[in-house]
Structure 1
């Protein structure tokens, strides 16, 4: 697992971790100095004669010209207090530095992962569940930051402190130091060995529970209309209930296991102090000598016990959150440094579209499928003509469109624009010439203007282009009748609009970028006949102004196309104008009737 952590951190972040480790060493040094100052101070309080008999104390007394022992003791106490206060202050600073680094690392990893997901090809999103991707970015990374990165850094910091303080205690009394550390450290080690397998198991189960929570909520919100109509609220609440309980239960168990040994070990620690007293008394050590040593071990224990508890707790939480870490690392491993994956808007090779689009012997099948969805299709689309694709469900219409759009890479064959084959170097240039209107229009909870100029910052929206696109989409009369016109909010996913209004916003969005090619994939299938006529009027007004590619749900929507291709089982079964196909193809005629 630790070898995989390199995928979480880049060079700059590894340097920052080095600085944190140096800071942890400095913190441990101040902790030891603070603890070590207790012993001579308590010895002086119990036996002031040590001031004159001890070379260092005598030198300090004379160097600062103290008049009496009481004044020297007072300022010595102040010095000890300042040392302890500074040690605590530096520890607080290191806690802030480690926490801030960890939280910012969560932001950095989230950005990297989101960039990685969005940089993947369209096929990636077909194969992955969107709830799973959202869970990874919004929840699993939080687990990794809180339960792995933060815990690991704090554990390393406390481990350094423990080693330094333990080394100092060995110098004072090796026997007591070794017995104390072995008893406390050994107890924590046993606890960890017993619980680590269970922690890993419940960590994996929590990741599964989180996925089901996210998926249920996503599906409930997306299907709220059907849920309300069919009274399915209890069904979805029931689906959410068990993974939510599991998530809470596993999370609680992980936290309890991480903190549980502390209560037992506090009893052991107090018992250890009593044992130290008994051991020293049994060796005929004077009370005046016992109290300074006891004070030293009490302060050292005050520092060490939380440190050892922190190390155990961190290791437990790391084990518990390891499944989340591996989910994130497995996705980060897939990141490739490519122009496309860097989300660059720069086009490497410009491409011109002056003559035609050629679909040249295209074959395509989806992963884990043995059958070709597109099986050797070849055709040409002249510039500024309108082309229709018809066929039954599963005939390959939408998949062929996705290949033309450059969303799917064909297994064989290619797309040629004029005389240029589409490849990775010129794909962005080609896609910049295309706009796409799907069957279901996705709308953001923003203004009509922001939805037409989708993805563009509000201050950068060209209002004149918005109005022009709305006019071409036959949307302007509806918008002008609204009180706030183009600033009208549409609601979540356009809930405040009718189906036809949403569809026309989708068309206006496609036209905002002034494309050379407009692709409509069953864009009117969800509309009633009257609304469909309005939308088709808007589309047909664009004929001969740009290249139209229309996938038909109802044959009447492609009646006026220059050429129609009839697909069946991934092949072109027939082609011609609407009237030609009606006269010579019985299946087409049946679909049109």
Structure 2
């Protein structure tokens, strides 16, 4: 239960639902306990009537009304003369018939009220569980958004999805059915045992004799359920990850003709899940038969011991019938102990997995609530960075400065640390050593929301949402702005508007997952439009023109020049044609700056940049000749 303690704050928040649910459970079980008394009195009524009939002393019968019947008569001030003043067999028959009908009506009324309060119970406790499920999913999702990129590098998407869906569903079963049936078991057990003790203490003890065996059995098996539940949930997460990766990479699977091997791998993992689930089911399957057997033993004991006591005149036949009903009434609550135990164990295993993420404190935190004005000056002072998961040293003593409104270009081979600089400016990671300053202020002291809302970032790996093109471009805009005009202007500047207007629904065209119905170049240009639509103070383009041809690149850069005026811009690319217009160019290699200067200065140095420029020029000429 330690893992489930996290849910106590929700239970306290919805305490009135639990209190009302408990009241309704008590009311429902009071009527449930009252109903067997009708059966007892009916049996006793028939037994006494038969004895009277056999002796022939009808006039001496002086029928004793059952307590429940006399209570109703007293409540409504009904005369009992016609039931007690009996002088013939026919009168006795009529009295028995009337009383039997009345007892049947009372039994039906008790059952009706039991059902009504049971309905109210579900309307409070089960609905409470759904409300907590809603709150818990929102808490998990909010935590996911707070966690930094390093967390997502360590964990798989399928596992994250499974914890917010399957695991939360398991927890809801604890919050709803498990709590409801536990309360019902406690209340019904107390009321039923109290009712049985009021009839005969010794018989009650005999009847309850098998129950300690039941408790020991549950205690023994619960550990097995917990271990196997955790294993099943882990395998479920693994399956979710496998399916998610297969669907996301379906084009690669088909291109390499790996459908069969992927299917075989999935079948293998499914078989593991099946085996683990069946092992858990086998344990669950022991509960119900064992509990029903023990309850059946209680019934046999009731009839045997109760029969002996009835012969001795200690109890009546009606009491035996009443005891049998009470015992069978306890069958499902006690039978549900195993099921509830299973639910609690599964919920504990799931909540333990959820808590692993909920209790993680994000490494990147907002230092203050007050907003900051971002002008755009950026300075790296002897910055080094090591990725926390892999241990790869991405940057080594990097120092540079870019004033507000200037354009900085970064060029270098793959893995040289270009994208790491972009991630540090966005504060997706904090520097390992050195200082990163924004407007002469350490980035760790700047309001995180202000910083990121003033950055238009086009990542190297373009991601588009399964939404309309217009909504993808307007992703960073607030609703109070002239959204449509800004979207169309951004699309035009990104040189993608003419492509969008070729679609039948134009800007309202729905994109598939990750923009699968767009070409690589179109996705990059839509991503550029999204970055520039909000007119941020800092623009970061991380190799965002790699999928477009040289002619399209020149048009886009020409359009961007107008947007980049008075804005700090960071251009990251492996193409010299993209970066040559920058105010300052950095050449990176293995995380260190090996050259810096303007395009002309770097060409005059005849170093790495000049070699790269000549190589790309020769490649372009070769393409033109072909």
Q: Do the two structures share a fold, i.e. TM-score over 0.5?
A: yes
Which of the numbers 217, 231, 247 marks the counterpart of 2:243? Answer: 217
1:146-545 aligned within 5 A: 146=173, 150-183=177-210, 185-283=211-309, 285=311, 290-334=316-360, 348-353=370-375, 356-368=377-389, 372-424=393-445, 426-454=447-475, 462-529=483-550, 532-544=553-565
- Say if 2:160 is the partner of 1:133: yes
Is this contact kept in 1: 2:253–2:259, CA < 8 A? yes
SS class of match (1:481): coil
SS state at 1:360 partner: strand
> For 2:229 and 2:62, how far apart are their aligned partners in 1?
57
Following the alignment from structure 1 to structure 2, what is the Cα–Cα distance between the partners of residues 314 and 412? 53
Given the superposition, is the C-alpha separation of residues 51 and 409 from structure 1 closer, same or farther in structure 2, using an over 3 Å criterion? farther
Q: Aligned equivalents of 1:456 and 1:240: distance in 2?
A: 42
Change over 3 Å in CA distance of 1:370–1:118 after alignment to 2: closer
* Distance in structure 2 (CA, Å) of the matches to 1:270 and 1:287: 25
Conserved in 2, the CA contact under 8 Å of 1:524 and 1:553? no
Question: CA shift at 1:245, angstroms?
Answer: 3.0
Q: Kindly provide the CA deviation profile for residues 520-578 of structure 1, in whole angstroms up to 9, marking residues without a partner as x.
A: 11212344555545544444454435322011133332122111112233332221112
Partner Cα distance (2:65, 2:136) in 1: 60
Counterpart Cα distance in 1 of 2:205 and 2:480: 68
Aligned to 1:570: 591
- CA deviation string 1:134-169 (max 9, x = no partner): 111111111221256532442233223223212221
Give how far 1:20 is off.
3.0
Number of the residue aligned with 1:586: 607
Is the Cα contact below 8 Å between 1:517 and 1:546 reproduced in 2? yes
Give 1:433 shift: 1.3
Partner of 2:9: 9
Q: Return the offset for 1:40.
A: 3.0
Is 1:28–2:42 an aligned residue pair?
no
Deviations 1:421-471 (A, max 9, x none): 333552221221110011222112222211111266999871111111111
Q: Distance in 2 between matches of 1:433 and 1:55?
A: 80
Residue 548 (structure 1) aligns with: 569
Aligned partners of 2:41 and 2:66 also within 8 Å = no
Look up the match of 1:52: 64
Q: Tell me, in whole angstroms, the C-alpha distance in 1 between the residues paired with 2:65 and 2:524.
A: 95
Deviation for aligned residue 1:591: 3.3
Change in CA separation of 1:528 and 1:220 when aligned onto 2, cut-off 3 Å = farther
Over 3 Å counting, the alpha-carbon distance change for 1:477 and 1:86 in structure 2 is same
Q: Which moved more, 1:84-93 or 1:284-293?
A: 284-293
Cα distance in 2 between the residues matched to 1:7 and 1:58: 49
8 Å contact 2:3–2:355 — kept in the other structure?
Answer: no
Distance of 1:60 and 1:197 partners within structure 2:
51
Partner Cα distance (1:17, 1:332) in 2: 25
- Whether the aligned pair in 1 keeps the contact of 2:232 and 2:273 (CA below 8 Å) is yes
SS, match of residue 541 in structure 2: strand
Q: CA deviation at 1:121?
A: 2.5
Work out whether 1:118 is the aligned partner of 2:145: yes
Q: Deviations over 1:275-318 (max 9, x none)?
A: 33332333462799543122212221232000001122111232
Could you tell me whether the CA contact under 8 Å between 1:364 and 1:410 is conserved in 2?
A: yes
Q: Tell me if the contact between 2:582 and 2:598 (Cα under 8 Å) persists in the aligned partners.
A: yes
Q: C-alpha displacement at 1:268, in angstroms? A: 4.5
TM-score scaled by structure 1? 0.89
The total of aligned residue pairs comes to 586
Once the two structures are overlaid, the 10-residue window that deviates more, 326-335 or 267-276, is 267-276
Secondary structure, in 3 states, of the residue corresponding to 2:209? helix
Q: Distance in 1 between the 2:267 and 2:193 partners?
A: 49
| Deviates further, 143-152 or 428-437 | 143-152
- Compare 366-375 and 492-501 and name the one that shifted more: 366-375
Do the aligned partners of 2:411 and 2:573 also contact (CA within 8 Å) in 1? yes
Matches of 1:545 and 1:32, distance apart in 2: 81
8 Å CA contact 1:365, 1:372 repeated in 2: yes
Between the aligned partners of 2:244 and 2:611, the Cα distance in structure 1 is 39
Using the alignment, how far apart are the partners of 2:67 and 2:8 within structure 1? 53
Q: Is the 8 A contact 2:162 2:237 kept in 1?
A: yes
Distance 1:321 1:144 in 2: 4
250-259 vs 541-550, which moves further: 250-259
